[in-house]
Amino acid sequence: MTRLQKSNTDPTALTNDEIVGTLLIESGASERLPTDERKVLSFLGLQQLSFDFMNELDFVDADTTPKKDLRAALSLKDKLVAVQSNLGNKRSRFSVLHEIAHFVLPDHRDKIFLDNDETLSWATKARLEREANQLAADLLFQGTRFASEAIQCPLSWQTVMQLAPNYGASYEAAGRRFTETHVLPCALLVYDKFTKTNDVDFEEDVYRLQYTITSDPFRKNFFRNLQATPNRFPTSELYKPKYWGETTEGKLIVNADDGSKSQFETEVFSNGYKIFQFVRQAQCK
Amino acid sequence: MGHFGEKLRRLRGDRTQKSVAEDLNIPQTTLSSLEKQEGIPRGEILKNLADYFSVAIEYFYDAPELRSSEDAKAWLQGLRTNFESRDTVATHSNMQYDSKTLEQIAAKLREKRDKTSEK
């Protein structure tokens, strides 16, 4: 007996919220945290496969086509989601959810798996990746559940560090979600490592501003993006902890084109790869 | 359900009711009542409060809970059936691979899946 139900609805008319809510509830993944990607895979009839893209794709020339960046792949025909075998739990979970997003988003199925025009433009590929990341984050943070929980807590990087493990998310992913969905003005500046000096003197490593995330009220009251000139900072200029892993507090002064200055409170943290500078108005704690 | 007054009180922080009421141009007794009020007030006052405290209006509302819809359910359950599809893969990667490579990756995955299921 078929389990399909007749529907006159155009699937492209479904909203992300509808797809995320239905997927989490009907698969049983909404019952606990973190989101159990295996339940979602099972609900969709997908099989997970552990795969070493670095070593098992012997036909790909590593010199011309880097493979180390490949984290996961989805085969619609075989209903398989393959995940890089040595990924940690958090990255593996997110990669699986990312592939699930490609599987359930109607437009993605058409563009990637059905269209005869086999080569996607960079712009289309970038859009599809962005949308898949967004839906994966919605699944990971269970729709508005994370944001609802976060709003009950202080507007602080400490909240990010407290909530991230519950959702099985990296500090970076949780920090992005916390900031972009927050109803209070706040921003997150993320710096990635530009040059590494040596393994001992991490203070001399050089970082650059990689991207800025801002909440709606922050954009409304202040600005959307920040530019740094010059865009290079030694660790010691950004992050001076008493011990590694400490969150340090400080101030950030931002100059506007009109010559005015805005001062914010900051909390700075590093996971060893990136430096995160959480920015908020004074007295927002 | 979130308590409107508690949310409003939290926004006021260390500031006195008197100074905030003056800034908002409302009697202090009105602000005091609002901070005890469970429900969300209607009209202009809500927008004025959101603007004054630099928060989104949504701050005062409870976020919608997850919900399942029949249309989405039908779509997702329909995905369990087999589809005609090109023999390719979607990748989670910053790289873009050509169609031949993607086809080869699909074949490799199938081969490993078959070997794994034989065991």
Tens digits of residue pLDDT in A183-205: 888 999 999 988 766 565 666 78
Q: Give A-chain residues touching B109 at CB under 8 angstroms.
A: 49, 51, 73, 75, 78, 80, 82
Q: Residue B8: is its pLDDT beyond 70? A: yes
pLDDT band at B44 (very low <50, low <70, confident <90, very high): confident
pLDDT band at A3 (very low <50, low <70, confident <90, very high): very low
Model pLDDT for residues A221-231, shown as the tens digit of each residue = 887 777 776 77
Q: Could you tell me the CA-to-CA distances from A146 to A55, A171, A244, A271 in Å, in that order?
A: 37, 13, 27, 21
105-164 of A, contacting B, C-beta below 8 A: 106, 108-109, 112-114, 118-120, 122, 125, 128, 132, 142-145, 147-148, 151
Q: Is the domain of B40 the same as that of B10?
A: yes
Q: Residue B107: is its pLDDT beyond 70? A: yes
Q: Which of B42, B60, B78 is the last residue of a domain?
A: B60
The CATH number given to whatever domain includes residue B54 is 1.10.260.40
What pTM was computed for the model? 0.85
Whether residues A145 and B75 touch (CB distance < 8 A) is answered with: no
Among chain A residues, CA nearest to B61: A148
**Percent of chain A whose predicted confidence (pLDDT) is above 90:** 54
Range of the domain at B113: 69-118
- Residue B16: the pLDDT is 93
Q: Is the domain of B9 the same as that of B56?
A: yes
Tell me if chain B has a CB within 8 Å of the CB of A193.
Answer: no
Which of B89, B95, B112, B117 is the best substitution to test chain A (most A C-beta atoms within 10 A)? B89
- Residue A245: the pLDDT is 82
Q: Residue A2: is its pLDDT beyond 90? A: no
Residue with tokens 């393959």: A82
Q: Is the domain of B111 the same as that of B79?
A: yes
Model pLDDT for residues A10-66, shown as the tens digit of each residue = 888 899 999 999 999 999 999 999 999 999 999 999 999 999 988 888 766 666 666
- Residue A188: the pLDDT is 96
Q: Could you tell me the CA-to-CA distances from B98 to A128, A157, A214, B95, B105 in Å, in that order?
A: 16, 41, 36, 10, 11
Q: Is the domain of B8 the same as that of B56?
A: yes
- Residue A5: the pLDDT is 45
Q: Give B-chain residues touching A147 at CB under 8 angstroms.
A: 63
- Residue B99: the pLDDT is 83
pLDDT band at A172 (very low <50, low <70, confident <90, very high): very high
Orientation of helix A89-104 relative to helix A37-44, angle to 10°:
30
Between CA A107 and CA A10 the distance in angstroms is 11
Between CA A74 and CA B102 the distance in angstroms is 10
Q: Is the domain of B82 the same as that of B55?
A: no
Q: Is the domain of B53 the same as that of B76?
A: no
Residues 6+ apart with CB under 8 A from A51: A73, A82, A83, A84, A85, B108, B109, B112
Q: Is the domain of B77 the same as that of B46?
A: no
Orientation of helix A16-27 relative to helix A37-44, angle to 10°:
100
Name the more confident of B75 and B13.
B75
Q: Measure CB to CB from residue A217 to each of B55, B65, B68 and give the nearest one.
A: B55
- Residue A197: the pLDDT is 62
Q: Could you tell me the CA-to-CA distances from A208 to A106, A188, A238 in Å, in that order?
A: 37, 14, 10
Residues 6+ apart with CB under 8 A from B77: A3, A4, A5
Please tell me the distance in Å from A209's CA to the nearest CA on chain B.
19
Q: Residue A285: is its pLDDT beyond 60? A: no
Strands (E), A78-142: 80-84
**Percent of chain A whose predicted confidence (pLDDT) is above 70:** 87
Q: Is the domain of B48 the same as that of B81?
A: no
Q: Residue B85: is its pLDDT beyond 60? A: yes
Q: Give B-chain residues touching A102 at CB under 8 angstroms.
A: 90
Number of domains in chain B: 2
Q: Is the domain of B11 the same as that of B53?
A: yes
Tell me if chain A has a CB within 8 Å of the CB of B56.
Answer: yes
Among chain B residues, CA nearest to A138: B66
Q: Measure CB to CB from residue A9 to each of B71, B76, B116 and give the nearest one.
A: B71
Do residues A266 and A250 touch, judged by C-beta distance below 8 A?
A: yes
Q: Is the domain of B30 the same as that of B74?
A: no
Q: Is the domain of B54 the same as that of B74?
A: no
Question: What mean pLDDT comes out for the span A177-188?
Answer: 93
Model pLDDT for residues B29-39, shown as the tens digit of each residue = 999 999 999 88
Average pLDDT of the residues of chain A: 86
Tell me if chain A has a CB within 8 Å of the CB of B112.
Answer: yes
Question: What mean pLDDT comes out for the span B57-82?
Answer: 87
Name the more confident of A137 and A8.
A137
Do residues A266 and A277 touch, judged by C-beta distance below 8 A?
A: yes
Q: Is the domain of B51 the same as that of B99?
A: no
Model pLDDT for residues A262-275, shown as the tens digit of each residue = 889 999 999 888 99
